Amino acid sequence: MPPKANPLHPHFSPDPTGSTHISRWDALWTSKTTPWDRAAPNPALIDILSREATPSGLLGPPVVNGKGKRALVPGCGRGYDVLLLSAFGYDAYGLDASENAVKAAREFAGSAEVREGEVYRTRSGEGRGKMELLCADFFMKDFEGKTGGGEFDLLYDYTFLCALPLALRPSWSARMAELLKPGGHLICLEFPTGKSPSAGGPPWGVPAPLHEALLTHPGEEIEYDEEGKAVLSEPGSKALRRLAHFQPERTHEVGAGTDWVSIWTKD
């Protein structure tokens, strides 16, 4: 059976440099063409937060001395992950450069599915954290004043890196390192790792060791081999440090058997 055609590739292929990628994403939200939308947060994130966002867990408690830690989800789409982080007690901020994505996220946040649903129930004895959904470009600084400024305790990436034009990868790693608080955590749900880099995108294939190559050299161009896979080199002076790397027990069906999770910190 031939591979299933990628419905997004013809939409983005006329713009290989990515100069119009924001307007192209917004056009998809306008037409309600969202084949990437799984209608729920990834089960892997639910499991990670349930296990690790605790006093003895890798992430530590989401609320410290009555104050919620600050979490950021770039490319948040309909905001499922932002709502989940808020339910765990984080002060959670979702960014999307598409005005129509943010509109859809705000509508979903006020829906009965959220108010009455089990997934988004309050999971912290400290209560729900603050939640804000902002139309903003992750690579610009103008949104920072709206989120309390400074660095974040938690960053989460799933289907954001793989959606970006390839030329923005060094900027992605630089911005992640810049926005991560020392001692904070970056969670990357690495998808789609089983897709060839030459197959086009979005989503672009992100086979190992792409995340490691980028995050150990924030802001730097990295090398790729003849198959398009990242080549590792000795970590740079601004490298983030990987604390964990594993395949989740649960994930969305589209990534079952190929998704990986990496958790990083900044020393």
Where are the chain's structural domains? 44-265
pLDDT for the residue 261: 98
> Mind listing the pLDDT tens digit for each residue in 214-235?
999 999 999 999 999 999 999 9
Residue 219 burial (C-beta neighbours within 10 Å; 0-12, 13-18, 19+): middle
Dist. CA 162–CA 203, nearest whole Å:
5
Helical spans, DSSP H, in 139-186: 169-179
The per-residue pLDDT for 6 is: 75
Q: Contact 202/233 with Cβ under 8 angstroms?
A: no
How many Å apart are CA 149 and CA 135, to the nearest integer? Answer: 16
- Spatial contact of 249 and 260, defined as CB atoms under 8 Å apart: no
Say if residues 202 and 8 touch (Cβ distance below 8 Å).
yes
- What's the average model confidence in pLDDT over 147-159? 95
The residue assigned the tokens 């599915």 is: 113
Given a cut of 70, whether residue 171 has pLDDT beyond it is: yes
Q: What is the pLDDT of residues 40-65, one digit of tens each?
A: 999 999 999 999 999 999 999 999 99
Residues of the chain with pLDDT > 90: what percent?
A: 89
Give me the helices (H) in the chain, please.
Answer: 9-12, 21-30, 43-52, 80-87, 99-109, 112-115, 169-179, 210-215
What is the average pLDDT score of the chain? Answer: 95
Residue 17, pLDDT > 90, answer no
Residue 180 host element (H or E): strand 180-190
User: 136, 94 in Cβ contact below 8 A?
Assistant: no
Tokens of 184: 């904070």
With a pLDDT cut of 70, the percent of the chain lying above it is 98
C-alpha–C-alpha distance, residues 105 and 100, integer Å: 9
Q: Give CA–CA dist 131/83, Å, rounded.
A: 7
Q: What is the pLDDT of residue 175?
A: 98
Question: Taking the CB of residue 26, how many other CB atoms lie within 10 A of it?
Answer: 18
Q: Can you give the pTM of this predicted structure?
A: 0.96
CATH of domain 44-265: 3.40.50.150
Question: What was the pLDDT predicted at 1?
Answer: 42
For 44, 79, 237, the CA distances from 132, given in Å and listed in that order, are 23, 10, 34
